[in-house]
Structure 1
Amino acid sequence: MRWKRLMTITKKEFIHIKRDKASLIIALMMPIMMLLLFGFAVNTDINNVDLVVYDGSRTADSRELIGKFTNSYYFTLYGEVNSPKDVEEYISLGKVKVGLVIPPDYAKDLRRNSTTEIQVLVDGSDPTIAKTAMSYSLLIGNNYSLKLKEVQSKKAGLDNHQTSGINLKSFVLYNPTLESSKFNVPGVIGLILQNITVILTSFAMVREREKGTIEQLIMTPVSPFELIVGKLIPYTVIGFFDMLMTLLLGNIIFGVTIKGSIALLILLGTLFLICSLAMGMLISTVAKTQLQAMQASIALLLPSVLLSGFMFPREAMPKVVYYIGSILPMTYFLEILRGIIVKGVGITYLISPIISLLILIFIIVGITMKKFSKTLD
């Protein structure tokens, strides 16, 4: 081995890397992005869970109980509603994860030294948040109940066991057994649909360019729009097949049934499929080689896994990271999937994620059409 020849080859390879600026940027920025994503997004400590309250008593005693929940760092008061039904409505809409229901006779029961029941409603579609919220609620309720017993015993001169406090009962909605498969399988369906379509589509135009067949397409009277749509149709068919197959296997293997409308799920899945295909085509129009397309796809898909709420609760993420996750289509499709499959809600409950998904589709498709030009460059 001659060192001179070795160093010449090494220098030549560094020149190739320097000329491939896209791959170089991805190679240098990917470690930083992964460190920041994993550092901030991978957090299972659930704090500041949004809480909605129905205060039927509307007394100083009930406000003191609400303060025990909201003054802790476990819960954040989202708002107060006028009926227990509104509490369930807020949870169904996905606005909050926990609801506190205080009965009208709360203060009267305390003054009569009789036990009063407090309801805590928890969204079971996310078992991680549900288990943590129930633990926090029981902790706050038990501590407050002990405090009330101490105060009552001092006033009446009785033993703590002879006094009554509050009895906090937790009710889990939509997933009473807190099965993780009902949370994970819908997310996996969305992830599979996105990953396959983005990766396959991202190679579509790059493959033509590398094989030299792009010149033949340029010589034809086909418009850019026709070319893009024509290339997307086969992957749309594949995406539909994958979606139906994963829904069927999820039911057969994991027992995850669709509680809502299958037709609505397919319709909204089509929207997400279009969005994923547009993202893949955008990568395909920007990347010059299949390696660059693969690197860009990974750079796009990794945040979708970590920041969308697929693996880790978004409520535990810092605000900046939370807002970054809000620009990912996967975030809204997960809301749609879990809303229809786990909760069985209709389209009226999914207006917000649907609108957000439509806005992202128009933006991504617009950028793709602008970036694509039917030229050799």
Structure 2
Amino acid sequence: MNAARTFATAGRVLRQLSHDPRSIALLLLMPSLLVGLFAWLFNDQPGAFDQFGGPILALFPFILMFVITSVTTLRERRSGTLERLMTTPLGKADFIAGYALAFGLAAIVQAIVTVGFAVLVCGLEVTGPIWQLGLVAVLDALLGTGLGLLASAFARTEFQAVQFMPVLVFPQILLGGLLMPRDQMPDALHAISDWLPLSYAVDAVNAVAAGDEGWDLGKPLVVIAGVTILALGLAALTLRRRTP
């Protein structure tokens, strides 16, 4: 992997993104709007938003980055852009790393906007530092980016890329601890949830909300980062130049 080619790829993606107002709005504004809607929904139930608002911050960036990354990467392959790029010294790892870097920067901005909106406008209260909540949101967005890049390698159309959501995203929502604490699930489902990265995203948010420190917070963050790196590595290995 070459750093110069990686940064060049990231710059190209960011320039393309800057000329797409709808994608920018989806990345930066939609998570805040969804968080605001969620806060409004529980407005008459004191404490409910503080309980569920944190996990929601882990969920929305993950889903949006998964969709945007998988569809955008697939579009580059179907349009022939990726095949033309592969005729240059650019390698698959450079391409994947460049995309991860570009969307990682977008994820940082997204996290700042979303967490700021949740805390300052919606009144979300957590015991731990706010920057830790932002860190979890960034890692979750990067996790969605990594899985989105991996899913794009196995899809032939944008519709197929979106169809991976029931396989890779929905089970994690159901078993990740958002709807029910994982320790209250049947043993078999609890065991499955231990292998789902979004479970650790919810654990990390809950740890920040409770003010936990040390390994209680560090373990889920390490797992999320490890799965993200693994997904990016597999995406680089399985990336195809074009769609048959």
Q: Give TM class, smaller chain.
A: 0.7 to 0.9
Q: Which residue of 2 aligns with 1:260?
A: 128
1:319 aligned onto 2:182 = no
Q: Please state if 1:346 is matched with 2:213.
A: yes
User: How many residues are paired up?
Assistant: 200
Aligned twin of 1:22 = none
Equivalent residue number for residue 197 of structure 1: 65
Q: CA deviation at 1:351?
A: 3.0
1:357 and 2:224 matched: yes
CA contact (8 A) 1:206 1:290 kept: yes
TM-score, scaled to structure 1: 0.49
Residue aligning to 1:86: none
- Whether the aligned pair in 1 keeps the contact of 2:146 and 2:229 (CA below 8 Å) is no
Distance 1:362 1:236, change over 3 A: closer
Instruction: Quote the offset at 1:229 in angstroms.
Output: 1.9
- Give the aligned partner of residue 200 of structure 2: 332
CA drift at 1:190 = 0.7
1:41 maps to which residue?
A: none
Q: How far apart in 1 are the matches of 2:192 and 2:150?
A: 19
CA distance in 2, matches of 1:180, 1:266: 20
Q: How many Å apart are 1:217 and its aligned residue?
A: 1.4
Checking the alignment, whether the CA contact within 8 Å between 2:150 and 2:235 is kept in structure 1 is yes
What code does the residue aligned with 1:365 have?
L
CA-atom RMSD, angstroms? 2.3
Aligned counterpart, 2:163: 295
8 A Cα contact 1:283 1:297, kept in partner: no
For 2:163 and 2:178, locate their aligned partners in 1 and report how far apart those are by CA, in whole Å. Answer: 21
Question: Which of these residues, 87, 94, 98, is aligned with residue 230 of structure 1?
Answer: 98
Cα offset for 1:232?
2.7
Q: Structure 1 CA distance, aligned partners of 2:67 and 2:104?
A: 13
Between 1 and 2, higher relative CO (CA 8 Å, sep ≥ 6) is seen in 2
Structure with greater strand share of residues: 1
Deviations, residues 53-96 of structure 1 (Å, cap 9, x unaligned): xxxxxxxxxxxxxxxxxxxxxxxxxxxxxxxxxxxxxxxxxxxx
Cα offset, 1:194, TM superposition = 0.3
The whole-number CA distance in structure 1 between the counterparts of 2:160 and 2:242 is 19
Q: Distance in 2 between matches of 1:327 and 1:196?
A: 21
Distance 2:99 2:225 in 1: 21
Larger radius of gyration: 1
Q: Is 2:238 the partner of 1:371?
A: yes
Using the alignment, how far apart are the partners of 2:116 and 2:73 within structure 1? 32
Identical counterparts, % of pairs: 23
Q: Within 1, Cα distance between the matches of 2:74 and 2:240?
A: 13
> How far 1:252 moved relative to its partner?
3.0
Kindly report structure 1 stretches of 4+ aligned residues shifted beyond 4 Å. Answer: 373-377
Cα distance in 1, alignment partners of residues 212 and 196 from structure 2: 22
More helix by share: 2
User: Tell me, which stretches of 5 or more residues in structure 2 are unaligned?
Assistant: 1-44
Contact 1:280 1:297 in 2 (8 A): no
Closer/same/farther in 2, CA of residues 373 and 211 from structure 1, 3 Å limit: closer
Counterpart of 2:19? none
Letter of the 1:359 partner, please give it.
Answer: G
Q: Report if the CA contact (8 A) 1:201-1:277 is conserved.
A: yes
CA positional deviation for 1:320: 1.7
User: CA 1:206 to 1:194, structure 2 compared with 1: closer, same or farther past 3 Å?
Assistant: same
- Deviation per CA, 1:196-237: give whole Å up to 9, x if none: 110001112210122232332122211111111222333223
Q: Which runs of 5+ in 1 are unaligned?
A: 1-176
Q: Which amino acid aligns with 1:368?
A: A
- Partner of residue 64, structure 1: none
- Aligned CA distance change for structure 1 residues 211 and 362 (closer, same or farther; 3 Å): closer
